[in-house]
Structure 1
Amino acid sequence: MQRLGSLEAVVMQRLWDAPGPMTVREVMTELQAERSIAYTTAMTVLDHLTKKGMVVRTKQGRAFSYSPTRSREDRVAELMGQALAESANRDVALMRFVENMSTDEAAQLRKLLAETEAPGRPDRSAP
């Protein structure tokens, strides 16, 4: 999995929040409220994200537009999986994660686990 630099992460947040694909100029304009970046910087960041497989580039007239290749939630799940893979003991790491959840988050987790184990639900691990 590709790690993101700080500016790449900010650009991805904007792309995930956008209602549709964004051009380099739109990304640059969107970032202006937070930080001043040059058009070429925005273009370079989007090019890096394309090479990392995080965004797809589509020709729109004379410009390109960029869209995320996966959802924010898929990215977070991927990061969580990577963090677990780095642990020598996944069970302990998961336990620490659950212990640090709020009461509401733990209740939501129990609900999701119950839904996952519900009879008749397809097995996601099956090919």
Structure 2
Amino acid sequence: MADEGRGRQSGRRRGQGELETQVLAVLRESAGALTAGQVQEALGGDLAYTTVITILTRLHVKGAVVRERAGRSFEWTALADEAGLAALRMRRVLDAEQNREAVLTSFVTTLSPDDERLLRSLLSEPPSGES
């Protein structure tokens, strides 16, 4: 049984990364900030409220969402999209390693030729805000 493409399909359990992506999608599609209960409802209601809070809190720690106090609760707003969340994950992995050069070298050598060209092109552009 699918619930609008976001919930469980055939009883399959969602992984943390998948849940984060789904929660971000709900927040990004919203016209405004949402409470955890509204996120839970938008996801089909099959997740425990505490699970939604945990995912929102993890996204907040990662800098992917912001929260603002609304009474005794919080309202949440997305800052990052899926690509931004993936970039945050990649950065966290890189930050956890002592030999950044080795990690980056290994990463670049495993890229496809097209991805390597794209990365080189991106690196040759001036940083945002500079001409």
Tell me whether the two structures share a fold, i.e. TM-score over 0.5.
yes
When residues 28 and 16 of structure 1 are mapped into structure 2, their CA distance, relative to the original with a 3 A threshold, is closer
When residues 41 and 82 of structure 1 are mapped into structure 2, their CA distance, relative to the original with a 3 A threshold, is closer
Q: TM-score, normalization: structure 2?
A: 0.56
Shift of 1:101: 1.6
Secondary structure of 2:125's partner?
helix
* Residues 1:89 and 2:85 are matched in the alignment: no
* Residues 1:30 and 2:42 are matched in the alignment: yes
Paired with 2:74 and 2:95, the residues of 1 have a C-alpha distance of 36
Secondary structure of 2:20's partner?
helix
Shift of 1:109: 0.6
Equivalence for 1:106: 116
Mapping for residues 1-127 of structure 1, pairs under 5 Å: 6=16, 9-10=20-21, 12-15=23-26, 17-20=28-31, 21-32=33-44, 36-38=46-48, 40-41=49-50, 44-45=53-54, 48-49=57-58, 52=61, 54-59=65-70, 64-68=74-78, 70-72=79-81, 73-116=83-126, 121=130
Paired with 2:120 and 2:59, the residues of 1 have a C-alpha distance of 37
Aligned length: 111
Unaligned runs of 5+ in 1: 123-127
Secondary structure of 2:42's partner?
helix
CA RMSD of aligned residues (A): 3.9
When residues 16 and 64 of structure 1 are mapped into structure 2, their CA distance, relative to the original with a 3 A threshold, is closer
Unaligned runs of 5+ in 2: 1-14
Shift of 1:10: 4.6
When residues 85 and 24 of structure 1 are mapped into structure 2, their CA distance, relative to the original with a 3 A threshold, is closer
Contact between 2:36 and 2:74, CA under 8 Å: does it hold in 1? Answer: yes
Aligned-pair identity (%): 23
